[in-house]
Amino acid sequence: MLPDDNQTRILQEALHKLNAAFERRDAQIDDLKKEINELRQFQSNTGKTTRISATSSMHTLISSPKNLHASTFVPIVATDKSRPVILPTNTFTSTPAMPFTMSLAKLLPNFSGKECEMPTKFITEFEILASGLVGNSDEYLLRAVQQSLSETALAWYIQTQLEQPVNSWTQFKQLFIHRFRTPEKIESLRGRLRSLWKNDNEPTADYFERL
């Protein structure tokens, strides 16, 4: 046990420290109250200034009708939400059609399958003309060549489509040349070429045209 004097001294020191802590707390509370009052006063003054400014501006607009004609106030509303993208619901894919509506019979060369006709020349001329009219699509070329064939050639094409449908232009050319460029026709054409002499007064261009 401590002596009574020492115990009293210790209690007095503890009481002194406790009083000092209370004083510091009271001082902190007073400082906080002061800051709160200053903040409230600042907010009050700011609100008055804003109201005065808005009232003054409105009074200026009302008292000066010329300003209404001089400019127009357009409020801008900011938003964080972006507008949704609306996709069209009536989109569709149409079936491609032939890029012509008129008959091609008068625009394209004709091939009937006669002995005097040259199948290689026909194919060359047809590709040059048809590509400019309908393009290079296999479907369009096959549909267009039907209008260029007649008689024996057209009958052959119809029969071929029934037995072995042609799906590409390359396939058609191979079958066409194999059918109409026979060895007999080749020999006949060679005989014609040997007999085709240039006349004395015939222009060279006309001679090559006959060839």
Query: pLDDT tens digits for 160-207?
Result: 999 989 999 999 999 999 999 876 666 666 666 666 776 777 787 777
Instruction: Summarize the confidence of residues 26-44 as an average pLDDT.
Output: 84
C-alpha distances in Å from residue 157, one per residue of 53, 97, 147: 92, 22, 11
What pLDDT is attached to residue 42? 83
C-alpha distances in Å from residue 131, one per residue of 45, 127, 149: 84, 6, 17
pTM of the model as a whole: 0.44
Q: 33: which 2 tokens?
A: 């109250």
Between 185 and 145, the higher pLDDT residue: 145
